[in-house]
């Protein structure tokens, strides 16, 4: 409200529309994807890569991920209306129409592919496009509503940025980026399943067969432990394959051990029917992945 004359102020419609489009891209997911892209480029270069190349890769990757997020919001607009966690999304509130969202998603998809192809290289562009199609078609349209294993295989799309980052620098792929792919792939279930435990009633109401809905909390807790262990073991494979140094090894072991402990604590509470805090594991998983990939980027810069 304008305190001088007592006239209520209205939100700028252009700014409100812009915020709605931004929300459609799921910026928090984009942020997490970029966290895994930058360090891989440093590892691929074994030093500091061309910073203009890094910027071009990040912009193209953000546009591609934003397009995938927009398509996902369009596809899931029916269940988003049911789930409390997603009722504030722009297609549910009416800030954007279905047509606006679909056009926006297609424009970002086309622009991101051309951007990466022309300013980075076509290998990186092809990988990003493949990840985009996998997330939209395989995960959003097919797996998500059909199987409790949806997040396992659908999560593969979230691993593609590490391949894009490596290909952006080298123009090809090697064993190291596939191990990094494996880290993110194995990390995704113990990252997302605790979230599904927290919002189990939402997924049940929307008839989305998340593991917490189909098999219950005990099975989720056990699977979180198994995948957390597998993630940490996979992260250690990078040491001999990519010739990682002391910093990465210590961070991978230390943060990995802490991540595993958090997973075991959750399972311990679940089997004792004690009210646990699955979101603690969710947030711990983000911290773990961030620490590991920061170490991936810094380790090649060190002389030991």
The model's confidence at residue 273, banded by pLDDT at 50, 70 and 90, is confident
The model's confidence at residue 1, banded by pLDDT at 50, 70 and 90, is very low
What distance, in Å, lies between the first and last C-alpha atoms of the chain? 60
The larger pLDDT score, comparing residue 237 to residue 217, is at: 237
Overall average pLDDT of the 228-241 stretch: 97
Task: Enumerate the domain spans of the chain.
Answer: 16-150+161-170, 174-304
Query: In this structure, which topology does domain 174-304 adopt according to CATH?
Result: 1.20.120
Q: What is the reported pLDDT for 10?
A: 60
Number of other residues whose CB lies within 10 A of the CB of residue 191 = 27
- Topology agreement, domain 16-150+161-170 and domain 174-304: no
Q: What is the reported pLDDT for 198?
A: 86
Q: What b/e readout covers 156-166, taking b as 16+ CB neighbours within 10 angstroms?
A: bbbbbbbbbbb
DSSP code of residue 2: B
Does the domain spanning 16-150+161-170 belong to CATH 1.10.357.140?
yes
């Amino acid at each position: 409200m304008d305190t001088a004359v007592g006239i209520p102020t209205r939100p700028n419609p252009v700014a409100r529309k812009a915020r709605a489009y931004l929300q459609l891209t799921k910026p928090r997911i984009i942020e997490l994807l970029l966290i895994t892209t930058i360090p891989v480029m440093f590892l691929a270069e074994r030093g500091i890569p061309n910073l203009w190349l890094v910027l071009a890769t990040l912009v193209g990757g953000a546009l591609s991920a934003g397009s995938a997020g927009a398509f996902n919001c369009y596809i899931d607009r029916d269940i988003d209306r049911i789930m409390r966690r997603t009722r504030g999304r722009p297609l549910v509130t009416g800030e954007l129409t279905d047509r606006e969202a679909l056009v926006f998603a297609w424009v970002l998809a086309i622009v991101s592919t051309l951007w990466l192809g022309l300013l980075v290289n076509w290998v990186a562009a092809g990988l990003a496009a493949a990840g985009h199609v996998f997330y939209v078609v395989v995960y959003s349209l097919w797996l998500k509503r059909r199987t409790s294993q949806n997040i396992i295989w659908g999560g593969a799309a979230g691993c593609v940025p590490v391949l894009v980052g490596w290909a952006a620098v080298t123009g090809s792929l090697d064993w190291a980026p596939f191990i990094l792919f494996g880290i993110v792939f194995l990390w995704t279930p113990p990252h997302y399943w605790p979230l599904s435990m927290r919002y189990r009633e939402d997924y049940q109401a929307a008839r989305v067969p998340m593991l917490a809905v189909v098999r219950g909390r005990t099975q989720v807790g056990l699977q979180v432990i198994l995948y957390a262990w597998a993630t940490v073991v996979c992260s250690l494979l990078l040491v001999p394959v990519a010739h990682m140094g002391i910093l990465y090894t210590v961070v991978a072991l230390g943060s990995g051990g802490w991540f595993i402990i958090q997973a075991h604590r959750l399972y311990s509470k679940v089997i004792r029917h004690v009210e646990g805090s699955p979101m603690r594991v969710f947030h711990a998983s983000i911290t773990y992945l961030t620490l590991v990939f920061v170490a991936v980027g810094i380790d090649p810069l060190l002389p030991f």
